Structure formats: structure tokens, C-alpha cells
Amino acid sequence: MTRHTTLTTAAIVVALALAQPARGDFTLWGDETMTVNSYHAQGILYDQSRASIITGGDVYNLHAYNISTVDMSGGSVNYLHAYDSSTVDMSGGEVYLDIFAYDTSAVDMSEGSVYRIHSYESSSVRTSGGEVYGDIFACNSSTVDMSDGSVYWLHTYDSSTVRMSGGSVGILYARDTSTVLFDGQDFHLGEGLSLDGWQVLGTGVLSGEWFDGTPWTVNIMENAPPATILLIPEPGMLALVALGALGLLLRKRTR
């Protein structure tokens, strides 16, 4: 075979490869399921469909709507958007950039890593492991429940609620009418912090132990009233705090 023929054959092979349909996008409807183990530019889930991202799977933009589910045990995603009442179960893998949770969607993270998590509206984020090596932003009336894992920056806005019963937080910014609850024991308030009942006032380093004896420390960089940071030294006290808040609301309405 001549050099000219070899080059021509190579060019044809390249041209055929480029002509193949790119594995760029997928859309799931109804109760369709898909195992994602290769690269896709975009994926969209509707209805009660389910996408399982495993090792080798890579999706640049992933959108989940309705009551669809994303199971992530490996692989990677750049941007993951959860809408409506969709669910994201993350037990491995990595979200290189952001997870966005809207409406009443739920994000459950037990392992893996993500750069940032944004929770809006009435969405919920639960972490029982894994690492958020950037930020969690709790906005609107969303809830964040952290029983393990780690986050470097935690930001609370609007009327969001964050409950900490495990794991670690590096830096906390509490703003607007948000509420941050620490379920723990053996609390220690650093310079700049004080207590009004069990409400933490001021900024500084707060430390303590979770109920399993694990020590923790958080640097409260912003604690802007009417934001509320509360220490809950025993599990049953949360109900008393809720009753007290309800009584205060009723008294305001009867004036």
C-alpha cells in the first residue's frame, strides 16, 4: 500500500468517526431508566424516570423535573439542576461545580464531593457524609439537615433553616430571618460570642461535641439579626423551642 493510499484511508476513517452521532444528549420520560457510563453533554429527566450515574459516566448539564430521580454512585457532573419534586441521591462521584435544588426537590448526599450546593424555595438538602469543599447556600424557605460530612462555607438567607447534628462546618454566615440549630453538648463560646438563653449572639469561634462525642468547631463570621443561631443541648428541647416560637406568634396576632 502506498503512502498516498494510507493517508486517504486514514482520512476516510476520521471522516466516518466524525459522522457518527455524538453521545451528547439524552431525555427520559415516563418510567424510563438509564445507566450513564459515558460522556453526555446534557441529560433531562421527566415524570418518574431515573438516571443512574456510575463510574465512567460524565454529564455536563443534568436537569431533573417532576418526580424523577438521579442516582449518583460514581462518575461526574458539572451542573446538576433539580426541580419540582425530583430527588438526587448522591452516594459517590463528584459534581465539579454546582447542584441547584428548586421547588420541593430533595438532595441526599452520603458520599462523594461537590463544589457548591444551592437550595431555593422549599427544597431540602440532607448530608450524611461526603464533602462540600466550597459553599452551601440555603435560601428562601429551604432546609438543610447535616448529620455528617463537611462543608467549608455555609450561608443562610431569607427564612431558611439549617440543622446541624454532625459533620463539620468551617465558616458560617447567618443572615435575614434564617435559623441555624446546633444539636450538641459541651458548648464553648469564643471571644465575641455570648448567649441569650440558648441563642448565640455576636461573632467568633463556637465549639462543642455532637451527641456521639465527636468534637466540632465553627467560625461564625456573620450573625446578623434577626437571623437566629440556637444551641440545642438535648433532643427534646427542639420541641420546646418550636412551642415557644408558636406562643410568641400567637401573642403577636392577638395584639
- The cell for 173 is 454566615
- Report pLDDT for 16: 40
Residue spans per domain, the chain: 24-254
Q: How far apart are CA 163 and CA 131, in angstroms?
A: 17
- The per-residue DSSP string of 149-213 comes to EEEEEEEE-TT-EEEESSSEEEEEEE-TT-EEEEE-EEEEE-TTEEEETTEEEESEEEEEE-TTS
- Report pLDDT for 171: 98
Q: How far apart are CA 53 and CA 36, in angstroms?
A: 5
- Report pLDDT for 187: 97
Q: Per-residue pLDDT tens for 127-160?
A: 999 999 999 999 999 999 999 999 999 999 999 9
Provide the Cα torsion 212, 216, 221, 226; round to 10°.
10
Of 79, 161, 148, the closest CA to residue 119 belongs to 161
By the 8 A CB rule, do 150 and 129 touch? Answer: no
- Report pLDDT for 11: 45
- Listed as ranges, residues in the chain with pLDDT below 50 are 1-22, 243, 245-246, 248-250, 252-253
- Report pLDDT for 237: 53
- Report pLDDT for 89: 98
Nearest-Å Rg of the Cα atoms of the chain is 23
- Report pLDDT for 23: 53
- Report pLDDT for 236: 56
